[in-house]
Amino acid sequence: MTEAVFRETTAEPSTRSVPLSHLSLELGHLYMEDFEEGPDRLRRHFARVRPWVDAARAEAAVRAAGRRPRISTCFLIDDYFTRFSSPADLVPLLLAEAERAGLVIDYLARESGCAVADKVPLAESVSHRLVESPPPGTYGLRPPVGVTGWLANGERTPSAGTTRAMTTAAAWRPPHETAARRHSVFLDIELWDDDKEGHRTWSCPFLAAVWQLARLGLLRNEGEPVLAPRPWSSGDFPRDWDELPPLLQLNTSAAPFSAYRTCSVLPNRFVPVEHAVRVILDQTDVDSGALRQVTERATREGTPVPDAVADRVAYVFYAGL
């Protein structure tokens, strides 16, 4: 005999979908020291980026299987770790140098918005979704990531600890990457640190992981999308960074901000950061409703996405200027 199961509909909040492009193309992620070098630094950056943008667009067209691909561009400015100048001074300069290179920035994001956006603590929310992958044979001797703030892609070198007198010290054992191909590339990532007053500072790799999840349309707060773009009408930008929305839509005709896949064109100094991002994404329990929506829609469009979220993310790294 089959038993009927009754549930309150309010106990199962729905997951609201978001518009999706085929590709979210990041044209840069620069820090205040980059802007301090002036227009020439931005000019060189966009000149290096342009050929790779063209290549990414061509590759997206191949994936679209004969359809015209929807591609949106974005740019991330660091206003989290340092504050320099003002949006009124920097944003027009940024847009002018992109235009000089024949590029259009559809969406402009503040890195602080990856920590908190519209009073929603995005970074904290993602931190609660971290699920460590314990290496085979480990016994949970190390505190979990929620306590330590560190996440690894394998088994760490065991602590030597203290040994009793006249006893033999334990032999040293190297760290080991869980998914190693013969030899390990072990990575241990600091996700945050807390000061004496208890104020938490999120690390660059962790905020970058939040940024990727937003671009992939996989962030929700109680079923509602977060870090939604706000249109910016023509006019002067504010003098204070806090007066600028976390995510601006600068191009009214732009394709949707979030996409089935992402590609970021970055200086090669970001290689270790983005390696860490992939490890974080591999150990994040992404909102199941959002994940299902994106996967089903991509399949219906004839452009299926990989099961692993990290495999939906691509990069182009260029050598120093």
- DSSP 8-state class, residue 235: S
Which position has the higher pLDDT, 276 or 11?
276
Q: What is the Cα–Cα distance from 111 to 76, expressed in whole angstroms?
A: 6
Kindly state whether residue 156 falls inside one of the protein's structural domains: no
Number of CB atoms found within 10 A of residue 273's CB: 18
Rounded to two decimals, the pTM is 0.90
Phi, psi of 264, rounded to the nearest 5 degrees? -120, 130
Between the alpha carbon of residue 231 and those of residues 115, 214, 239, 249, 252, the distances in Å are 21, 17, 18, 5, 7
pLDDT reading at 313 higher than 60: yes
pLDDT at 12: 52
Residue 128: strand pairing partners: none
Q: What is the DSSP string of 21-37?
A: EEEEEEEEEE-HHHHHT
Smallest CA-to-CA distance from 126 within 283, 263, 274 is with 283
Segment 156-170 shows an average pLDDT of: 62
Kindly state whether residue 171 falls inside one of the protein's structural domains: no
Kindly state whether residue 115 falls inside one of the protein's structural domains: yes
Residues 196, 283, 273, 310, Cα dihedral to 10°:
-150
Could you tell me the two tokens for 207?
């905020």
Kindly state whether residue 189 falls inside one of the protein's structural domains: no
The DSSP element (H or E) to which 95 belongs, if any, is helix 87-100
pLDDT at 33: 84
pLDDT at 84: 82
Q: How many domains does the chain have?
A: 1
Kindly state whether residue 162 falls inside one of the protein's structural domains: no
pLDDT at 6: 46
Q: What is the Cα–Cα distance from 239 to 91, expressed in whole angstroms?
A: 11
Kindly state whether residue 82 falls inside one of the protein's structural domains: yes
pLDDT more than 70, % of the chain: 88
The contacts of residue 170 (CB under 8 Å, 6+ apart) are 158, 160, 161, 163
* Helix, strand or coil, per DSSP, at residue 310: helix
| Residue-range definition of the domain harbouring residue 213 | 17-128+196-318
pLDDT reading at 4 higher than 60: no
**CB-count burial class (<10 Å; 0-12, 13-18, 19+) for 91:** buried
* Helix, strand or coil, per DSSP, at residue 76: strand
At 238-264, the pLDDT tens digits run 999 999 999 999 999 999 999 999 999
pLDDT at 5: 47
Kindly state whether residue 158 falls inside one of the protein's structural domains: no
Kindly state whether residue 166 falls inside one of the protein's structural domains: no
